Amino acid sequence: MTGAPADSRALRVAVLGSGVVGSQVVRLLGEQADDLAARVGAPLEIVGIAVRDVTAPREAAVEPRLLTSDASALVRRADIVVELMGGIEPAKTLILEAIDAGASIVTANKALLAQHGPEIYEAAEAAGVDVYFEAAVAGAIPLVRPLRESLAGDRVERVLGIVNGTTNYVLDQMTMHGLAFDAAVAQAQALGFAEADPSADVEGFDAAAKAAILASLAFHTRVPLAAVAREGITGITADDVTSATASGHVIKLLAILERTDGGVQARVHPALVSNDHPLAGVHGAFNAVFVEAQAAGELMFYGRGAGGTPTASAVLGDIVSVARHRVHGGQGPTESTYAELPIATPDSAVTRYQVRLRVADRLGVLAQVAGVVARHGVSLEAVRQGRVASDGIAELIITTHQAREADLAATVLELSGLEPVHTVDSVLRVEGS
């Protein structure tokens, strides 16, 4: 049996899941109990921790008497339900049951919010309870409160985020130590920064879910996960990294959210970032989110985007907020969708590009390439000739001004069929300028 609160003023907290984050949340709720009670105005008492297998070995902080496999019963006798199981089901059903029973919700579940957020927010608003989710995006970094509260009087124009620590670690290792992609992934796996199957990270799925959540917050518009254009980093080679370094850039996997004439643009892809840009200095598994707002100008938020303890910090901050509302009254911001901006199609994105080609090293090739580019309405910023290999093949690096994705794609298609062009080695967007 799980316990009932000993102190009648205590707020009953149910924790769903006892993995890397859940066990740290339980530990900190115990260790910081006095501080938390002072900040909330009432003690917090864990009334149960729902797990799949109550007999599995656990961290010392997780008291066996609190474990239960009946999550559905647990959420109905809690004031605050902290969902840290991840995945869509049973998390979604349990959260809706908890809301139905009048509990406030704290969750770190980005996949669930990106796919079913609106349904959950609507249920919470109807029931008059809070849904807080600071930990769902960029781990410990305060980002949800700044976007939905601090910038509530401003107009966000653009968000550029490094929101996946695994891919940032991999790209950083490739940049700093010249590792190949596979070697960098293997190292990330050895250090616990990447899963055995790294595809959710390296293919950009994790970043895309966070992008959908951030876009919805930034633009007061529902941005479904399906609207986020997504491209991972599996195509990035050591040559791409070397070439980026040579041109004063680093390659980062970015979540890019923009307010454009055509509506909200949301995309995740690797991009060249100038060494001068604050995001270029974000190393290892750190995350950072760069925000451009009309009045505030440029802002950046930096910190640990993953890990049990950092993520637990964000979860605890949310627990304090929703607990204070239960003690002192009031409610946090609800979903804001009034702007209802259209969602722009991915191919309407306008950005700068860098294209690396290998071409025959002979007179007139550069003019020929420049002619193709111009014919597609793409404006050249620079053409730089790189190394000439012993076989008479030269590297040509083209940087464009802002161009439409469709025009660039047509340009690349024609270039790759051009007689003196041997290969198109890479096409990368240049962001942050």
Nearer to a copy of itself, 238 or 299 (CB): 299
Does the annotation count 210 as an active-site position? yes
- Answer yes or no whether residue 314 interacts with a copy of itself by CB under 8 A: yes
Contact between 173 and a copy of itself per CB under 8 A: no
By beta-carbon proximity to a copy of itself, the closer residue of 68 and 287 is 287
Nearer to a copy of itself, 330 or 342 (CB): 330
Residues 6+ apart with CB under 8 A from 322: 80, 104, 105, 106, 130, 132, 332
In three-state secondary structure terms, 67 is strand
Q: Which CB atom, from 127 or from 180, has the smaller least distance to a copy of itself?
A: 127
Q: Which of residues 111-150 bind a copy of itself (CB under 8 A)?
A: 134, 140-142, 145-146, 149-150
**Which long-range contacts (C-beta less than 8 Å, at least 24 apart) are formed by 412-417?**
412/355, 414/372, 414/375, 414/376, 415/355, 415/357, 415/369, 415/372, 415/373
Contact between 241 and a copy of itself by CB under 8 A: the answer reads: no
Residue 149 Cβ vs a copy of itself, minimum distance, rounded to whole Å: 6
Q: What angle in degrees, to the nearest 10, is found between the helix axes of 365-375 and 405-416?
A: 140
| Residue 392 is a binding residue for a copy of itself (CB under 8 A) | no
Question: Counting contacts by CB under 8 A, is residue 195 touching a copy of itself?
Answer: no
Burial of 315 (0-12, 13-18, 19+ CB in 10 A): buried
- What is the DSSP code string of 231-287? --STT--HHHHHHHHHTTEEEEEEEEEEEETTEEEEEEEEEEEETTSGGGG--TTEE
Instruction: Report which of 151, 119, 121 is spatially closest to residue 133, judged by C-alpha positions.
Output: 121
Q: Which of 112, 272, 293, 357 binds a copy of itself (CB under 8 A)?
A: 293
Q: How far is the CB of 340 from a copy of itself (least distance, A)?
A: 10
Mark residues 196-235: x for contact with a copy of itself by CB under 8 A, - for none: ------------------------x---------------
Q: Work out whether 336 is an interface residue with a copy of itself (CB under 8 A).
A: yes
**Residue 325, interface with a copy of itself (CB under 8 A)?**
yes
Contact 272, 429 (CB under 8 A): yes
How big is the chain, counted in residues? 433
Which sequence positions are flagged as catalytic? 210
Q: Summarize as ranges the residues that interact with a copy of itself (CB under 8 A).
A: 24, 28, 32, 35-36, 38-39, 134, 140-142, 145-146, 149-155, 220, 278, 281, 293-304, 307, 309-310, 312-321, 324-325, 328-331, 333, 336, 338-339
